[in-house]
Amino acid sequence: MAMLPFRPAPFFGNKNAAFWNLQFAGWGGVFALRAVSALANQQPWDLLLVILVQVVTGFAISLVLSVIYRQLIQRSALVTWGMTAVALAAGVALYAGIDAWLQGIYYSATRDLTFAQRLLGLAFLDGTLLGAWSALYYAINFFIQVEEQADRLERLEAQATSAQLAMLRYQLNPHFLFNTLNSISTLVLLKQTEPANAMLTRLSAFLRHTLVSEPGAKVTIAQEVETLNLYLGIERMRFEERLRTEFRVEPEAANAILPSMLLQPLVENAIKYAVSPQEEGASISLSAQLVGRRLRIAVSDSGPGLRDAGAGTSTSPALARVGRTVSTGVGLANIRDRLQQAYGEDHRFEIRHPPEGGFTVIIELPYEAAGTPQALGASAPSDPPSSPSPSAPLIPAPIAAPAIGTQTA
């Protein structure tokens, strides 16, 4: 499930700077509107000085309100709105009182109004101005909080998905490790040090690759085949000619990307239930091709398959395979879960088991390319590649910033 995480707009990236920009723009606009209105009504130019003092007074009172609101915004709704009403009423009374005093001085020779009359007349205008400022302050901060919460939720979901992918991919089959280490121990006891050293070297290379690559990373089909060769290099030393493999990867499909370590459990499953139980061993084939804009991958074996279950197809991984051991379907279920996490419903996972035997897993994914395609040979080499390709690290989630406004120590 791929979702684009929320990124704050550059304007709100620095909340303190955004607050001051809005303050100067807003109060500057108030001054401009009042100045234009005064000049349009043919008021004297010295009235602009009075308007400037009024605007600076409102600017200063709004700074005090921002400090108070900043402390109230995280409180309960009753406390926030109750204390906001009290602070706003006090701010309006102070603002209207200063305005009335200034106008009393300026219009003392032309208007015969008492201080109370001027105060009541200006209270509505100043109350509307500071009320609108307060509403904008809370609206902007609540909007930012909602977006940050949505951002954190998406990042938590992404982290949970990554953790689940890691759990699924790091469930390395203990039977594989046990059998490999047991084979190494047997070779050492038989004093066959060179084969033992070669198997140990290949095991360490494979384990190193599984540990350094990120569980949520995607690799090309070509890189995934290299990983399979690391694994098959170990298993060939155990089963020798009983293990026969064939890779048929179209050049156009070689550069398609898919989740890393997706195919190895399928090959391991085929070895465990097709090669190991039969004296003659079995053949394992892997094919990858493009069908329209879809990548189609098939992993099949010539083992006993599901003869007791009858022929057919299925999308459920919970199927028991014929052999010395009974499959619990955990490996196939893990692959299905990883596909669901990575692609949602935009994938196909199908199991086929014909009546004559054999077992095939078919996976279809949306085609995604990475760079220039490179062709692969018809069969897989026995020697492991030199080194795996590292994958990109995960991006940690950011810490939410406080509300915009003047900073308090």
171-366 is classed CATH 3.30.565.10: yes
Q: What is the pLDDT of residue 110?
A: 64
Q: What is the pLDDT of residue 216?
A: 67
* DSSP reduced 3-state for 187: helix
Six token digits for residue 284: 């394992």
User: Mean pLDDT across the stretch 59-84?
Assistant: 89
- CA 348 from centroid of its chain's CA atoms: 23
Mean pLDDT of the chain: 78
pLDDT at 260 over 50: yes
Q: What is the pLDDT of residue 142?
A: 87
pLDDT at 405 over 90: no
Q: Which of 219-223, 307-311, 372-376 has the highest mean pLDDT?
A: 219-223
Q: Which comes out higher in pLDDT, residue 101 or 287?
A: 287
- Span of 59-63, 224-228, 324-328, 379-383 with lowest mean pLDDT: 379-383
Confidence class for position 284, pLDDT limits 50, 70, 90: very high
Q: What is the pLDDT of residue 50?
A: 85
> Which of 304, 345, 332 lies closest to 1, judged by CA?
345
Burial of 85 (0-12, 13-18, 19+ CB in 10 A): exposed
Residue 253, phi then psi, degrees to nearest 5: -90, -15
* DSSP reduced 3-state for 283: strand
pLDDT, tens digit, 9 for 90 and up, residues 335-389: 888 888 888 899 999 999 888 888 999 999 999 988 544 434 434 434 433 333 3
Domain with CATH 3.30.565.10 in the chain: 171-366
- Span of 170-184, 208-222, 266-280 with lowest mean pLDDT: 170-184
Confidence class for position 406, pLDDT limits 50, 70, 90: low
- Span of 153-157, 190-194, 242-246, 265-269 with lowest mean pLDDT: 153-157
Measured between alpha carbons, how far is 53 from 49 in angstroms, rounded to an integer? Answer: 6
pTM for the model: 0.52
Kindly give, in sequence order, each residue whose CB lies less than 8 Å from that of residue 396, ignoring residues fewer than 6 positions away: none
